[in-house]
Chain A
């Protein structure tokens, strides 16, 4: 393992070490309670009836036979919910109209994708609930489905929503309704002049399939509505407050009536931000007066949750013979699924983000189609847009006979560079990642053998901040329980607790982090956007500083001196003035903790932060592949992932994020796709046919952590989760081209696609 940690971070005691995570034992013994593990007295089991059609008008729903079944206590449809307005609510990584949130949870007049929820039942047993939904009779008027993003944008295409008009960035709307929900454009310089300057111009078109987040835990939601009007919700979610603020308006309750308890979460990657089952469980509980648990099966997860956008993209890029990129024109059309809100905006801002290109135009279109409403998926939008741009850049390097890594270094953004969307970079590790890749054993090695090739690609993701909360008590034995609002999806209890421990000067083991419900901690945004270690860590830092201040005050009180004469050192020694006899006065953290109760009471530190800054992250990936020319199968032989983490708080979990991102990116590159027939029926809605990488599909993934500390964070954190999913697809594409001379134009680059591009074309 190569870890290029800078001397800068060696000054820390806790940060940069690899303690056992606090929640680890529960997770290796089976004790950890995930959403579906909850059991409550009198709990009912729910089940959802889903549409067999991709696009249809609901003519009628007859629930009488289901209601008559022994053991069924309630059946609900959209009509049972209060009427939702078109007010816009915060949905975690974005916003949405409340009525569309409701219609996606349970269809009103139309079903808009296969698997769209139509009705839900609550029964005494889940087998009875399964039987009951079979008894619900729905009459549909089947409509022509809109399944291709380009077809959807054409005038005269069947419309999903009669009320949807294309919104422009200036706030104007199109006169006629359209499936194109919005258009955005970022420009910089003079595009025509830039292309006129170029010696070589390459233009390529790409199509990518929808792909699912693929978390192993299906969605779940349990709710208990009490007679006093309070609602408890237990669910596996990336954002308990987002669930609260979605469920409350859908049921016309005050947020103060709703308490959401986040259970352990079995993966999310952005897909467990929206609500699906929670509002249904809540209404079923309201109807029955009993707790109701709903869980999805895998088919429902694939049909009706997630995925990320399928796309059509076109990139034109020009460069001088020396490798200087002079112009780039990027066209992105993203499938939003059934309701507006694809990640095309982020995709557009990321598309050319690693490069200082003087002349740019990036157009993005958010387009509704009869497929599930897309949800955030790890660096939402960027794996698609950067696949297109990185691929064209690699082809330019090939055409010009230049080293693709050198060409990236030559054009790399550095501090002060401005993106087309107007953002100007501060201190970034773009060049440092490329250099670390250049120096890596992998890049320095020779690759030999037939049908083998090597590729590289760069990736960029913003990372974000926003609201996080942390409260901590000091116990008499010097241990510190830490209360957090961020659900822990992959080790953030540890990474946040370590920052508190570092600031207080105590051990990570003396901090006891807990993820609590929405009534027990301040507002905390979702675990997503690579914000949790960044903003949660910042809250923990400020909480610790609050404790330090209070402990200084307490020591001053004990020593009967001025607080200004007391200082809490980074070594966790609280030092005061000399006593009357001229002796030094000091407390260790534990000594003072032991005196808190007798000297005035306990201490609680707290911080609620809202950070609008971020720490941009870059990554460089190198991959070697071997292509089987007879079957089209691509094997990944070797993989190196370089990434700027800012500061790696817990390096083992930083590596884990990098390796996991690579695995998902390789899946997106080679196998994962939503395969629809012309009626809009998803033909591969199982984990056998939706083919995610297994242990046998991957080699060891070599992580190289680069640390260019983020000056906008107390400990230099940038956030690490998102960016590693971005470079795999373009790097693998380049490796395939290097191996067999074929430039692929679609994702996934499955055996079928490779054969289409090679053998079949030769015939």
Chain B
């Protein structure tokens, strides 16, 4: 049952990274255990909760369902890459101003997913936001304030 190790080279949050992955490592495990980026969270490890969402080559993926070895040559963006230095992104600010988080464990996944939504659809309807974010589970907020934070980041007026 000995595991093989593989050298993987990819770009993470704009930085070139070369790391040694266990062949059984998912991207989530590689990010957390090999690279030390713990912003992406494990909630279910089978693609049902969205807490591990990262952006891989312009696409949202559940990083628990991607093997680390598949990431060779990829461009990956995680929650740690959303802010520029100490300048939070509009979406991050909106989450704070709208009180869109309670425990915060699902927040990284929601931020990564919502940012991708706004890139593709800068002015989404409430239904479009709910549909897009239906793959991310939040157990604390009832989603209300998360939806409003995305609306605020999209420049919509929030009641």
Q: Which residues of B contact A664 (CB under 8 A)?
A: 139
Closest A-chain residue to B3, C-beta based?
A127
Judging by beta carbons under 8 Å apart, are A33 and B140 in contact?
A: no
Which interface residue of B131, B134, B143 has the most chain A CB atoms within 10 A? B143
* A21-B99, A660-B140 known; A27-B107 Cβ under 8 A: yes
Q: How far is the CA of A700 from the CA of B104 in the complex (A)?
A: 20
Judging by beta carbons under 8 Å apart, are B79 and A660 in contact?
A: no
CB of A755, distance to nearest CB on chain B (Å): 24
Judging by beta carbons under 8 Å apart, are B88 and A695 in contact?
A: no
* A216-B41, A696-B130 known; A490-B139 Cβ under 8 A: no
Q: How far is the CA of A69 from the CA of B2 in the complex (A)?
A: 10
Q: Is A575 an interface residue when CB atoms closer than 8 A count as contact?
A: no
Q: Is B156 an interface residue when CB atoms closer than 8 A count as contact?
A: no
Q: Is B124 an interface residue when CB atoms closer than 8 A count as contact?
A: no
Q: Which residues of B contact A264 (CB under 8 A)?
A: 103-105
Judging by beta carbons under 8 Å apart, are B138 and A216 in contact?
A: yes
CB of A157, distance to nearest CB on chain B (Å): 35
Judging by beta carbons under 8 Å apart, are A686 and B134 in contact?
A: no
CB of A470, distance to nearest CB on chain B (Å): 21
Contact partner of B105 (CB less than 8 A), chosen from A20, A128, A216, is A216
Q: Which residues of A contact B79 (CB under 8 A)?
A: 28-30
* A37-B32, A216-B139, A696-B131 known; A686-B103 Cβ under 8 A: no
Judging by beta carbons under 8 Å apart, are A701 and B103 in contact?
A: no
Judging by beta carbons under 8 Å apart, are B104 and A27 in contact?
A: yes
Closest A-chain residue to B89, C-beta based?
A28
Interface residues of A in 682-706 (CB under 8 A from B): 686-688, 692-696, 698, 700-701
Contact with A along B70-88 (1 / 0, CB 8 A): 0000000011101100001
* A131-B1, A656-B102 known; A269-B139 Cβ under 8 A: yes
| A-B contacts at CB below 8 angstroms, number | 195
Q: Which residues of A contact B43 (CB under 8 A)?
A: 216-218, 266, 298, 687
Contact partner of A20 (CB less than 8 A), chosen from B97, B137, B139, is B97
Q: How large is the interface on B (under 10, 10 to 19, 20 to 34, 35 or more residues)?
A: 35 or more
Q: How large is the interface on A (under 10, 10 to 19, 20 to 34, 35 or more residues)?
A: 35 or more
Q: Is A36 an interface residue when CB atoms closer than 8 A count as contact?
A: yes
CB of B31, distance to nearest CB on chain A (Å): 10
Interface residues of B in 125-143 (CB under 8 A from A): 126, 129-131, 133-143
Judging by beta carbons under 8 Å apart, are A267 and B83 in contact?
A: no
Q: Is A24 an interface residue when CB atoms closer than 8 A count as contact?
A: yes
Contact with B along A653-669 (1 / 0, CB 8 A): 10111011111100000
Binding site for B on A (CB under 8 A): 1, 18, 20-21, 23-25, 27-34, 36-37, 39, 69-70, 125-128, 131, 213-218, 264-269, 295, 297-298, 489-491, 650, 652-653, 655-657, 659-664, 686-688, 692-696, 698, 700-701
Beyond A215-B139, A701-B142, list 7 extra A-B contacts (CB 8 Å). Answer: A29-B83, A655-B144, A660-B141, A663-B139, A687-B43, A687-B46, A688-B48
Write 30 A-B pairs (CB below 8 A) sorted by A numbering. A18-B99, A21-B99, A23-B104, A27-B107, A28-B96, A29-B39, A32-B104, A33-B38, A36-B41, A39-B33, A39-B36, A213-B139, A217-B43, A218-B43, A267-B102, A295-B42, A297-B42, A297-B45, A490-B140, A655-B99, A656-B145, A659-B142, A659-B144, A687-B46, A687-B49, A688-B48, A694-B135, A694-B143, A695-B133, A696-B131
